[in-house]
Amino acid sequence: MKSLLAALILLPLQSLAEIPTIEGVSAHKSGTTWRFDVTLLHPDSGWDHYADGWRIEDADGNELGYRKLFHPHENEQPFTRSLSGVEIPNGTTSVFIRAHGSVDGWGDALFELPLNQ
């Protein structure tokens, strides 16, 4: 199993929106699939406004995996959730993580994670 931790690349920075911030990502390869552990920070204020998901994308913006978050994390900030069984196409050298907020939608800030296949 391979483990990776990547440096954060944010493009562009969110100025006023309350999109969840991706604090960190780790990826572990097991056989032909990957497990991603993503740490988010967001000012969750209850069921009306919370970080409700994140996804893994390739360089073209195609979704490779999606992790739905089913409830607010008001008292657990930052928090980490995992997604297993993600298939990454051969030849893919990096993936991008994008976070979603229940009010503000998908953020433009991406976390780039280089992969060693």
Angle among Cα 96, 68, 46 to the nearest 5 degrees reads 115
Among 6-10, 63-67, 83-87, name the one with the lowest average pLDDT.
6-10
Give the DSSP H/E element, type plus range, for residue 28. Answer: strand 21-30
Comparing 72 with 78, the larger pLDDT belongs to 78
What share of the chain has pLDDT > 70, as a percent?
Answer: 76
Per-residue pLDDT for 85 more than 90?
A: yes
Please state the domain extents for the chain: 2-11+20-114
Q: How far from the centroid of its chain's Cα atoms is residue 111's Cα?
A: 7
Neighbours of 47 (CB within 10 A): 11
At residue 94 the predicted structure's pLDDT band, cuts being 50, 70 and 90, is confident
Domain 2-11+20-114 has CATH 2.60.120: no
Length of the chain: 117
For the segment 15-30, the average pLDDT, to the nearest whole number, is: 79
DSSP letters for 29-71:
EETTEEEEEEEEE----BTTB-EEEEEEE-TT--EEEEEE--S
Whether the per-residue pLDDT at 19 is higher than 60: the answer is yes
